[in-house]
Structure 1
């Protein structure tokens, strides 16, 4: 009983801990950020949210790139001047016109193309395999289209400035290409963040086919290239200008290096942080869900929103938890059919036919007048009464550490001491019989049941065939308990035990019993001394 109480307390602590953990994690953003909304968000709200996030990402990243390009051209690399008498019109008229047109047209075009490609998500339709590929490849496509606008501007302005002075060619082409590549990288990372809800829907179509330009390694190496590789190459390019063309002073070269280095530290840090956040968030979500599983809560299911190996991790977690839930369901179902103790023994030991000798107590419980009950009441009412009756029986047997070995119509067999060992099986069985009799009289006044108890050596184990068997107990005590149960229906109190069983109990339990007549039970040759509760 102490072990059982200790186990109950432990389970209660685990459940309490799981509840607290569940409360702390219940509001965890499904996609890793509150900006992305929830999976239950209405389709119209999702479409507006995606459009706003994409537009903001494109405008902000491109404006930063344009600002950096202007500072590089005018301050870091001032010679030749873009405001000279022959080229001022390019700087004052053509460049601003292209910037405004590219920002307006490019932002609208890219956003519309993206939303059109993802129309299935903004309309609430189920994704196909093609929809999945387009959705997961959208960040790369948007970054490439954005880079194309920068390259068009680079080609146009390099041509116009180069026609006036060839020395503009390396300066303009380097600055605009450098900024365009870094800005496009930022667009890719921002877009991948903004489209997480769409990626989650796309991944519902199944596992990606592996042809997508994605992956944790690719994401990390691309970020390194855009935030470190290209800026360092740019510094080397400027140094090569200074060596070959010799038109940069030491101060200008130092200013250029300092500016590119500052831009790399600032904007590069931002891009690397976003890439790290995109990579770590799925891991963090899975880790939090694992904490709930470790605490005993098998309800969490994480949102699969990453198209890389991290999405496979999220999907694997869901499969694992689903398997655990199914295992617990089968374990619970198995335990309900055969008893918790038998189920636990079956899990911890190899299943073999046969059994072992045990000293155990057996109790038979059987309803009196069940035939009349079945004929006088509707079948549904009889079933409800039986469920109430067996509910009380199971509750009392469990309370005293017994096992309901089998239900037989309107009766059942309970065993104390097998498969779980009890120090005093007789005490548990006798106390359970007294408590059960009192509770049935108090709660089910229109139903009476006979109870017979005896103890002795039984054979407990698995009986049947290798593909179908059950746990049971066999022996003289079981037969004697059945006969005592039949006889108990004719005596006051409706409870009988063998005197030998009572004598084997402790003094504390013996004081609740009194001895009666000696009778020869049906099918037996020797007389049995009866005992009944005082």
Structure 2
């Protein structure tokens, strides 16, 4: 019984949710941060927000990298000095000029590429495969462009300093290269983070063309290489050059190691945190959504905003929940057509043709004068009237834990005691019949209906063929209820039951009934004692 109640509750919840709209995880930002705005934000406003966020983050990362490079060149590795009389113009004029030119060029390129990549989102149109590819490839392109600018500057400064003194070559080349690689890694992570709202729209249009990233493993290993591997390599090279060239004292080497290690710890730990957060956030949203699904709520729909395996996880969750919603919808339709009790029984065990003998009470309800009713009223009005009529019957039968076995035109058959068990089928059937009689008089005065109630042994089960069958009840109690329903149309109360059914009811229910005359029902040889409400 508990399983069937659970099924009915699930069906009720499903229908309540069917009229609702999709919503994200309650209390959880769709993209993982308030910095990225809301899903309902205007596209143009979102574009401006993303451009400002990307520009600010990339400029800040590059300025930090430039400062670190200057400190390493001037303080950590002071010899040879970049301010010597022969090369001061490179440090004072060429280097600042290139830094300014690179920043302007990088920002201009970034703005142009971003506008081009996000044009489809601004124009309120679905992305093409090329739009998807361009949008999801933007972080890698931004990072590559940033690295190219650092490498060009590295080559230029190494050449100019090296023409004066070859000992500048390893110092300038390694320091600038080291800073450029780490900053480029930071630019990739920041750009990927900033583009999450647009990536969500692009990924929502379908599976992206080809593999545009190396996945979670590639993201983590690349971050480790840029934040830990390369700094460690820088320390190794500093020690190696000291051994080979003897250009650093023990104190200078110690200072160099401290600067590189400190930079790696501070900047590297920040990048590792960003990479870890970007990996854990999609998993966290899936976990929260799974918690709601476990509680029976099938409404969550995740925003797919990651191009790695995590995006596939989000997409897979959405597919799973969509399948569960479809399953619940079909289950609800099945329950509405055959009855929720029958649906629950079908779900709990294999369906088989055949039946079993059960004691049950049956009730027939049929409208009086349905033919004239259909002729005198428009078809839509007749259907609306029938729906209101059957709504009363279904509510009262459900209240007594009965089962609507079938609707037949303007009448129906209700059964109490099968397939679900009730303590006293007679009590349930007689109480439901009285309530239906009273409500029809009060709520549907324009409809007159006869009601017949009988109880006895019936055969209940699946009847038909393996390809098509239905649950039904067969027996003398069913036939008797049908005959009493016809006879009740000619009596004032419009409700008749067999006296035997009333005798089997509890004293609390018997007090509402009185015995009437005996009558031979159609198709019978022996008379049947009638009972009717007092």
- Are 1:51 and 2:73 an aligned pair? no
Matches within 5 A, 1:53-452: 53-452=53-452
Q: Post-superposition shift, 1:401?
A: 0.4
Instruction: Report if aligned partners of 1:129, 1:205 keep a CA contact under 8 Å in 2.
Output: no
Q: Post-superposition shift, 1:330?
A: 1.2
1:283 and 1:339, CA in 2 relative to 1: closer, same or farther beyond 3 A? same
- Are 1:524 and 2:524 an aligned pair? yes
Could you list the per-position Cα deviations for residues 479-513 of structure 1 after superposition, in whole angstroms to 9, with x for gaps in the alignment? Answer: 11000111111122111111111112222222221
Could you list the per-position Cα deviations for residues 144-190 of structure 1 after superposition, in whole angstroms to 9, with x for gaps in the alignment? Answer: 11100000000000000000111100000000000000000000000
1:179 and 1:84, CA in 2 relative to 1: closer, same or farther beyond 3 A? same
In 1: Cα distance, 2:503 partner to 2:251 partner: 108
Query: Alignment partner of 1:192: what SS?
Result: helix
Moved more, 328-337 or 169-178: 328-337
1:424 and 1:436, CA in 2 relative to 1: closer, same or farther beyond 3 A? same
Q: Post-superposition shift, 1:9?
A: 9.4
In 2: Cα distance, 1:15 partner to 1:262 partner: 59
Query: Alignment partner of 1:482: what SS?
Result: helix
- Are 1:475 and 2:497 an aligned pair? no
Query: Alignment partner of 2:324: what SS?
Result: helix
In 2: Cα distance, 1:363 partner to 1:87 partner: 107
In 2: Cα distance, 1:198 partner to 1:275 partner: 19
Query: Alignment partner of 2:497: what SS?
Result: strand
1:209 and 1:23, CA in 2 relative to 1: closer, same or farther beyond 3 A? closer
Q: Post-superposition shift, 1:365?
A: 0.4
Q: Unaligned regions of 5+ residues in structure 2, if any?
A: 17-21
Instruction: Report if aligned partners of 1:518, 1:527 keep a CA contact under 8 Å in 2.
Output: yes
- Are 1:458 and 2:458 an aligned pair? yes
Moved more, 507-516 or 164-173: 507-516
Q: Post-superposition shift, 1:383?
A: 1.5
Instruction: Report if aligned partners of 2:452, 2:497 keep a CA contact under 8 Å in 1.
Output: yes
In 2: Cα distance, 1:213 partner to 1:424 partner: 67
Query: Alignment partner of 1:454: what SS?
Result: strand
In 1: Cα distance, 2:2 partner to 2:206 partner: 50
Count of aligned pairs: 529
Query: Alignment partner of 2:136: what SS?
Result: helix
1:300 and 1:354, CA in 2 relative to 1: closer, same or farther beyond 3 A? same
Q: Post-superposition shift, 1:296?
A: 2.1
Larger RCO, structure (CA 8 Å, separation 6 or more)? 2
Q: Unaligned regions of 5+ residues in structure 1, if any?
A: 17-21
Instruction: Report if aligned partners of 2:150, 2:180 keep a CA contact under 8 Å in 1.
Output: yes
Normalising by the residue count of structure 2, what TM-score does the alignment of the two structures yield? 0.95
Normalising by the residue count of structure 1, what TM-score does the alignment of the two structures yield? 0.95
In 1: Cα distance, 2:5 partner to 2:79 partner: 86
Instruction: Report if aligned partners of 1:15, 1:295 keep a CA contact under 8 Å in 2.
Output: no
Q: Post-superposition shift, 1:11?
A: 10
In 1: Cα distance, 2:478 partner to 2:13 partner: 39
Matched with 1:19 is: none
Q: Post-superposition shift, 1:28?
A: 2.4
1:90 and 1:235, CA in 2 relative to 1: closer, same or farther beyond 3 A? same
In 1: Cα distance, 2:23 partner to 2:386 partner: 39
Instruction: Report if aligned partners of 2:405, 2:413 keep a CA contact under 8 Å in 1.
Output: yes
Q: Post-superposition shift, 1:24?
A: 11
In 2: Cα distance, 1:67 partner to 1:6 partner: 65
Q: Post-superposition shift, 1:31?
A: 1.0
Query: Alignment partner of 2:82: what SS?
Result: coil
In 1: Cα distance, 2:465 partner to 2:15 partner: 39
Q: Post-superposition shift, 1:294?
A: 2.0
Instruction: Report if aligned partners of 1:54, 1:111 keep a CA contact under 8 Å in 2.
Output: no
Instruction: Report if aligned partners of 1:464, 1:470 keep a CA contact under 8 Å in 2.
Output: yes
1:3 and 1:46, CA in 2 relative to 1: closer, same or farther beyond 3 A? closer
Could you list the per-position Cα deviations for residues 386-443 of structure 1 after superposition, in whole angstroms to 9, with x for gaps in the alignment? Answer: 1111111100000000011111111100000111111211111111111111111111
Query: Alignment partner of 1:118: what SS?
Result: helix
1:280 and 1:4, CA in 2 relative to 1: closer, same or farther beyond 3 A? closer
CA RMSD of aligned residues (A): 2.3
